[in-house]
Amino acid sequence: MGQEIGNNGFTADDFARFSQRLALETRHAQDAYVRGDFANTDLVAGFELEAWLIDEKLFPVPRNVSFLARMANPLVVPELSRFNVELNGTPQPLVGPALSLLENELVATWQECLRVAALEDAALIAIGTLPTIREADLSLASMSPYRRYAMLNEQILLLRGGRPLTLDIAGIENLSTTHADVMLEAATTSFQVHLQTPASEAARTYNASLMLAAPLLALSANSPFLFERALWHETRVPLFEQAVDCCDPGHPQHRRVTFGSGYLGADPTACFAENLANYAVLLPVEIPGPVESYAHLRLHNGTIWRWNRLLIGFDDQGLPHLRVEQRVMPAGPSIIDMIANAAFYYGAVRRLARQDLPPESQLPFPIAQDNFYRAARDGFNAQLRWLNGRRMPACELLEQLLLPLARAGLEQLDLAAADIQRYLEVIAGRLRSRRNGAVWQLAHYRKHHDFFRLTADYLDHQRHLMPVHEWPI
């Protein structure tokens, strides 16, 4: 989805040619996996962070074109709306000081973004949903001026037969509205963590990522408000799922934004065959290159936003690899919070994926899925079921079982001991205080009843690089 497209419109022939090439590449990927052509090299970590540009009144400001021109940094790229940008991290082999290298680079990129944003009379903020966002901000006038976004909007609306998108969220308060385009998606910003994994371990790693999605979301929730209503602790989840909903109403499992349809079996490339069978092509762009570049498969996969997504990439030698993109975490609250979340995920997923008895055999997929939506609604208070079959509050599951699991996994990876201690102490502090970003925002609003003060205080604390459990209310 990152590449630009040049078409002004698509024909039936475009769809036919793309579908033919997509089928060919999907079969090739499956055969290549059987042959052992995908890399079995060590783990590599990376991330993408989506952020908001806001003005002096704390409203979103659509200036990413001039902002990006000033930045001129390949790590900082456009997003769907003119008031969003994406910051990327340089992938790091997951050994030694990898975590602090990721943090140091992000801090440097973030500080440069803040400097450049100030030249645009703007500021940058990382938060799941901006408390000051207005529905009027989410119009096509705010769409980034790249053809891929306009065509994506057009194709989704065509699949919907022109019907407007309906947003209906019942939470602490209720929200119901309709929207004429996909720009609601621009109100959801995330911290997406990548883990390149040996191909032989890709299925186990993906399945462990699905199991961890719920506790990880409870740990990191940071999106309680939308259009001045308190909804879910992670309102980003129902908002994103409904913002690009173009599935057949009779087949909700085929939504473009979904938890998925089940665990992977022995062949992880089966998920690409599922994409081919169940999801209409949205962007039938013909891309030159050999079948083994998987260009059409990768583009199609980029228009299906599973909360955990398996991706194909290539190393410096051109060898294909598989990586898991963990998409459940919102942006923010602070840089150290986000890297600590990544550290927790990397350690826990490593430990689960390497257990002798596959943990997915102990936690049925429907329960992992139910856990996910419970965590999105209720955050730390969500009642989650784990491998022993017993339900317990998410905060207790994290504190008693998963934090020690993550520590063991990070130690197994031979990461720097000082990094392990630093980042997991951030997680432990958050659990002791029972305060993540959503809890802080909800408590702040209960005390002050002012979304602008909330946003201003949040921005100030974020700039001081403090973990959220240390933020005053």
How many other CB atoms are there within 10 angstroms of residue 97's CB atom?
14
Q: Is 470 helix (H, G, I), strand (E, B) or coil?
A: helix
Tally of helices (H runs) and strands (E runs) in the chain: 15, 16
CA gap 118, 149 in Å, rounded: 27
What would the pLDDT profile of 257-316 be if each residue is shown by its tens digit? 999 999 999 999 999 999 999 999 999 999 999 999 999 999 999 999 999 999 999 988
CA–centroid distance for 226 within its chain: 18
pLDDT at residue 449 greater than cutoff 70? yes
CA gap 407, 425 in Å, rounded: 10
The secondary element (H helix, E strand) that includes residue 442 is helix 437-448
- CA atoms within 13 A of residue 377's CA, in its CB half-sphere: 16
User: Which residue's entry shows tokens 């306009």?
Assistant: 150
Q: Degrees (nearest 5) of the Cα angle 408, 336, 102?
A: 75
Per-residue pLDDT, 325: 98
Closest CA to 207 of 326, 91, 88, 296: 326
Per-residue pLDDT, 164: 87
Per-residue pLDDT, 250: 55
pLDDT at residue 111 greater than cutoff 70? yes
Q: Which has more pLDDT, 309 or 389?
A: 309
Contacting residues for 56 by C-beta, under 8 A, at least 6 apart: 121, 123
Q: Degrees (nearest 5) of the Cα angle 43, 49, 51?
A: 180
What would the pLDDT profile of 50-67 be if each residue is shown by its tens digit? 999 999 999 999 999 999
- Phi and psi torsions of 165, nearest 5°: -80, 135
Q: Cis (ω within 30 of 0) for the bond into 333? A: yes
For 291, which DSSP code? G
- Phi and psi torsions of 323, nearest 5°: -140, 150
Contacting residues for 220 by C-beta, under 8 A, at least 6 apart: 191, 328, 329, 330, 337, 341, 436, 437
Report the percentage of the chain scoring pLDDT > 70: 97
How do 76-78 and 84-88 pair as beta strands?
A: antiparallel
Least confident of 161-175, 193-207, 320-334, 419-433: 161-175
Contact 66, 16 (CB under 8 A): no
Per-residue pLDDT, 246: 73
What would the pLDDT profile of 183-223 be if each residue is shown by its tens digit? 999 999 999 999 999 999 999 999 999 999 999 999 999 99
Say what the pTM is.
0.96
Least confident of 147-156, 285-294, 463-472: 147-156
Least confident of 92-96, 153-157, 270-274, 468-472: 153-157
Contact 269, 202 (CB under 8 A): no
Q: Angle between the 98-119 and 64-71 helix axes, to the nearest 10 degrees?
A: 120
Q: Is 321 helix (H, G, I), strand (E, B) or coil?
A: strand
Contact 199, 322 (CB under 8 A): yes
pLDDT at residue 248 greater than cutoff 80? no
User: Which residue's entry shows tokens 């390149």?
Assistant: 196
Per-residue pLDDT, 1: 46
DSSP of 117-135: HHHTT-EEE--SS-TT--G
What would the pLDDT profile of 3-26 be if each residue is shown by its tens digit? 545 556 789 999 999 999 999 999
User: Which residue's entry shows tokens 């961890």?
Assistant: 212
